[in-house]
Amino acid sequence: MSPRVTGATALRVLRQLRHDPRTLVLIVAVPCVLITLLKYVFGDSNVFDRIGGPLVGIFPLVSMFVVTSITMLRERTSGTLERLMTMPLAKLDLLLGYAGAFALVAAVQASLVAAVAFGVLDLQVAGATWAVILLAVENALLGMALGLSVSALAASEFQAVQFLPAFILPQILLCGLLAPRDEMAQLLYWISWVLPLTYAYEALARVTQGLYGPELAAYVLAVAGFIVAALFAGAATLRRRTP
Amino acid sequence: MTDSAAVAVDGLRVRRGGRLVLDGLSLKVARGCVTGLLGPNGAGKTTLIRCIVGVQVVESGTVSVLGEPAGSPQLRARVGYVTQAPSVYGDLTVRENLAYFASILGASPGRVEEVVETVGLGEAEGRLVNRLSGGQRARVSLATALVNEPDVLVLDEPTVGLDPVLRRELWEDFHALAAEGRTILVSSHVMDEAARCDDLLLLRDGLLVAALTPGELRERTGLDDLEAAFLRLAEEGHE
């Protein structure tokens, strides 16, 4: 692995995104619109303050999951992955290059969404805004790593897009964002403990409530563990030799 | 002696999609030459090329390149590979594509400008690859493999879709590279390109039909037209 190649890969991914300004605008604008909708749909109730904060940190996960799985699928179908695999590029160069590029995009995305939510919509959270943004970047890396590992299962872009409702939507339902997990049926509660988004949400919930403590650290580390595991799974799908 | 050959293939068996594509193929590619890999569609040219660049799962047999097993990490900067379908990033400009591959291969940034000129894309270097014509895209893909001046350059039908002028220029480039001691292996199913090679490897149904020079092919079959000569040889192989 070499920093030169990792850096070149990150730069390449960022350049690809720059040539697709519409995608960049969508990545940033859609969460801003959604969070605005959320405020006015729930009106005066405190729902916005309860789920708005965690949502700021979850949007990047969803965007990066989709962007990564499609980008990686294109890399496979266009033959560029095969070409890269014949070159002096370590699999880790590719994975970390993607991670670097998407972390940067996620930081910009989360900062702008946070600016809209906290600055314009007057979202009230007990914790610090910067901590929410940091978690958002971690979650973006989780989304990227998950997207990378499932992209190998997709044979077409149609399939890759379907992975969003298949892999991410159930996790959003079960992670505790929409309903408290301890009020769920026992089976669902146990299932929620094996889903990465649960840990991401628990960390965000604590930060937005201003609960900085060992529990928060444990959840943050758990998410990091899921990122590493998903990256290893993704690396295992990158084969130098194919049948 | 395997060292004298740039590529040595021995008893290579490869199965793709349940079909035995290469069935005990053995051949050698000489150093410093332009060798043409010829044969009809489905003969196993692409599969052989994939084995040489080390991206193909092999059932049995050996492939060595420059004395190392094909696909070894030491070979990755020394073997250039141009796939049949252009494999470059459509959402990057020509220059951005080449700059990326140049930095992976450790080529000097100045090489990007040089190869852009070599493949005649000077006018288009700031344009997105997706907006280029098919022939221009093929040239970007080719330029990518030339950027670090590899010792062995393996090209899978690189001239498909290119106009005759550019084709002739590229063949001149291949010979110039070979004159520097580099080894060029070019697959083609167009027999008029055979005449431009130093050596020919004729492949049919995953087997080597003949390894000879264009002159020897004409001599052996008594035919001047290489296409007819190849057909003659292929039919002999059938009997």
Q: Which residue of B has its CA nearest to A21?
A: B91
**Residue B1: per-residue pLDDT:** 43
* Count of A-B CB contacts under 8 Å: 81
- State whether B104 and A15 contact (CB < 8 Å): no
Across the interface, of A4, A78, A88, the residue whose CB is closest to B76 is A88
Residue in chain B lying closest to A17 (CA): B91
Mean pLDDT of chain B: 90
User: Is B105 near chain A, with CB under 8 Å?
Assistant: yes
Q: Return all residues near B140 (Cβ < 8 A) that are at least 6 apart.
A: B86, B88, B94, B97, B98, B119, B121, B129, B132
Return the amino acid letter for B121. L
Which residue carries 């192989």 as its tokens?
B237
H helix or E strand, kind and range, residue B14: strand B5-16
Residue B101 touches chain A, beta carbons under 8 Å: yes
Contact partners, residue A202, CB within 8 Å, separation at least 6:
A176, A215, A219
Q: Could you say which of A12, A19, A78 has the minimum Cβ distance to residue B128?
A: A19
- Say whether pLDDT at B51 is over 80: yes
A88 has a chain B CB within 8 A of its CB: yes
The values of phi and psi at residue B152, to 5°, are -125, 130
Q: What is the ipTM of this complex?
A: 0.88
Interval B4-23: pLDDT, tens: 799 999 999 999 988 999 99
A85 touches chain B (CB under 8 A): yes
Instruction: Flag whether residue B74 sits within 8 Å of chain A, measured between CB atoms.
Output: no
How far does the CA of residue A19 sit from the closest CA of chain B (Å)? 6
Lowest mean pLDDT among A82-91, A170-179, A210-219, B182-191: B182-191
Closest residue in chain B to residue A239, using alpha carbons only: B55
Tokens of A88: 């002096």
| Mean pLDDT, residues B21-49 | 93
d(CA B142, CA B161): 13
Give the H/E segment covering residue B159.
none
Which of B14, B57, B89 should we substitute to test contact with A (largest number of A Cβ atoms within 10 Å)?
B89
Domains of chain B with bracketed CATH: 79-149 (3.40.50.300)
Strands B79-82 and B152-156: parallel
- pLDDT of residue B112 exceeding 70, the answer is yes
Q: Which of B58, B89, B106 sits opposite A16 (nearest CB)?
A: B89
Nearest-angstrom CA–CA distance, A141 and A197: 12
Q: Which two tokens stand for residue B92?
A: 């990057």
Cβ neighbours, 10 Å, residue A42: 15
A contact test, residue of B14, B21, B55 with most A CBs within 10 A: B55
Residue to test with chain B: of A1, A86, A94, most B Cβ within 10 A = A86
Which among A8, A19, A79 has CB closest to B92?
A19
pTM: 0.89
Sign for the CA dihedral angle at A149, A154, A156, A162 comes to negative
Contact B82, B156 (CB under 8 A): yes
Instruction: At A56, give phi and psi (nearest 5°).
Output: -55, -35
Highest mean pLDDT, choosing among A35-49, A133-147, B2-16, B185-199: A133-147
- H/E element holding A51? helix A47-77
Give the tens place of pLDDT for each residue, A65-100.
Answer: 999 999 999 999 999 999 999 999 999 999 999 999
Please report which confidence band the pLDDT of residue B235 belongs to, taking 50, 70 and 90 as the band edges. confident
Contacts of A8 in chain B (CB under 8 A): 99-100, 103-104
* Residue A156 in tokens: 């077409």
Say if B100 is an interface residue toward chain A (CB within 8 Å): yes
The rounded distance, in Å, linking the Cα atoms of A138 and B76 is 34
Q: Tokens 């990518």 label which residue?
A: B144
| pLDDT, tens digit, 9 for 90 and up, residues B130-143 | 999 888 898 899 99
Q: Among residues of chain B, what percentage have pLDDT more than 90?
A: 64
- Domain residue spans in chain A? 3-157+164-237
- The tokens of B78 are what? 């020394």
Predicted pLDDT of residue B234: 76
Which residues of chain A make contact with B17, given a CB cutoff of 8 A?
243
The band of A159, judged by pLDDT with boundaries at 50, 70 and 90, is very high
User: Does the CB of A242 have a partner CB in chain B at under 8 Å?
Assistant: yes
